[in-house]
Amino acid sequence: MTDIVYWQATTFLPLLSVLTLVPLLTMVLVLLNKPAYSLNLGLAGALINVALSIYLLRVFDSEAPGIHLAETLDFLGIGYRAGVDGTNILFIPLTAILGLLALVYTMITRHRHDRLFVACLLAYQGILIGAFVALNAMQFWFWCLLELVPVVLLTVSAGTGRQRNQVIKTVLQYWLSGLAMSLAGFLLLSFGLMQNGLDFSFEWLTLKQHNLAIPHETLIFILLFFGFAVRMPLFPFHGWLPLLAEHGTAASAAIFITGLKLGIYALIRFILPLVPGAAEQWAHFVVSLGLIGIFYGALLALMQINMRRLLAFAVISHTGMLAIGVFSFNDFALEGSILLSVAYGLATAGMLFSIGLIYERTRTSYLPRLGGLFETNSEIGLLFLISALSTMVMPGTPGFDAAHLLIEGTIEEHGWLTAIAILIGNVLAAGFLLWAFQRLFIAHSKRKVQPYSSINHPLAQERIITLVICGLLMATGFYTTPWLKYIDQEASEIGEHYPEHHSHHTNEPDND
Considering only CA atoms, give the Rg of the chain.
22
pLDDT (tens digit per residue) in 143-169: 999 988 888 888 877 666 667 778 888
Rounded to 5°, angle at Cα 52 from 48 and 54: 120
pLDDT value for 505: 43
Per-residue pLDDT at 181: 93
Average pLDDT over residues 338-351: 88
What percent of the chain clears pLDDT 70, i.e. is strictly above it? 88
Residues in the chain: 512
pTM, two decimals, is 0.89
Helix (H) or strand (E) holding 84: strand 78-84
* Amino acid, single-letter form, for residue 491: A
Please confirm whether the linkage preceding 23 is cis (ω < 30° from 0): no
pLDDT tens digits along 19-51:
999 999 999 998 888 888 888 899 999 999 999
| DSSP designation for 6 | E
Q: Is pLDDT at 504 greater than 50 in this prediction?
A: no
Residue type, 24: L
The helix-helix angle for 115-133 and 35-59 (nearest 10°) equals 20
Other C-beta atoms within 10 Å of 445: how many? 14
pLDDT score at 277: 83
Contact assessment for residue 143 and residue 230, using Cβ atoms and an 8 Å cutoff: no
Cβ neighbours around 444 below 10 Å, total: 7
If one counts every other C-beta atom within 10 angstroms of the C-beta of residue 416, the result is 10
pLDDT over threshold 70, residue 213: no
The per-residue pLDDT for 250 is: 64
Among 91, 62, 256, residue whose Cα is nearest residue 159: 256
Distance from chain centroid for Cα 412? 26
H-only helix segments in 147-249: 148-158, 164-195, 204-209, 217-231, 240-247
First to last CA, the chain: 29
What does the pLDDT average to over 393-400? 81
The residue that leads in pLDDT, 498 or 267, is: 267
Written as one letter, the residue type at 442 is I
> What pLDDT is attached to residue 454?
44
| More confident of the two residues 457 and 208 | 208
The number of angstroms, rounded, from the C-alpha of 184 to the middle of its chain's C-alpha atoms is 23
Q: Which of the two residues, 52 and 333, has the higher pLDDT score?
A: 52
The whole-number pLDDT of residue 177 equals: 92
Convert the pLDDT of each residue in 167-194 to its tens digit: 888 888 999 999 999 999 999 988 887 7
Q: Are 316 and 299 in contact (CB under 8 A)?
A: no
Q: What pLDDT does 278 receive? A: 86
168-172 CB contacts, 8 Å cutoff, 24+ apart: 170/239, 170/240, 170/243, 171/240, 171/243, 171/244, 172/148
User: What was the pLDDT predicted at 50?
Assistant: 94
Mean pLDDT over each residue of the chain, to the nearest integer: 83
Give per-residue pLDDT as tens, 216-258.
888 999 999 999 998 888 888 888 888 887 776 666 666 667 7
Burial of 212 (0-12, 13-18, 19+ CB in 10 A): exposed
Ramachandran bin of 216, using left for φ above 0, alpha for ψ from -120 to 50, beta for the remaining angles: left
Q: What is the mean pLDDT of residues 365-387?
A: 83
Instruction: Tell me the three state secondary structure of residue 278.
Output: helix
pLDDT at 496 over 70: no
What is the layout of strands, in order, in the sheet containing 4-6?
Answer: 4-6, 67-75, 78-84
Of the listed ranges 17-31, 48-62, 386-400, the one predicted with least confidence: 386-400
Q: Is the pLDDT of residue 141 over 90?
A: yes
Q: pLDDT tens for residues 259-294?
A: 778 888 999 888 888 888 888 888 899 999 999 999
Give residue-wise pLDDT tens across range 92-137.
999 999 989 988 888 887 777 788 888 988 999 999 999 999 999 9
Task: Give me the pLDDT at residue 456, please.
Answer: 52
SS3 (DSSP) at 5: strand
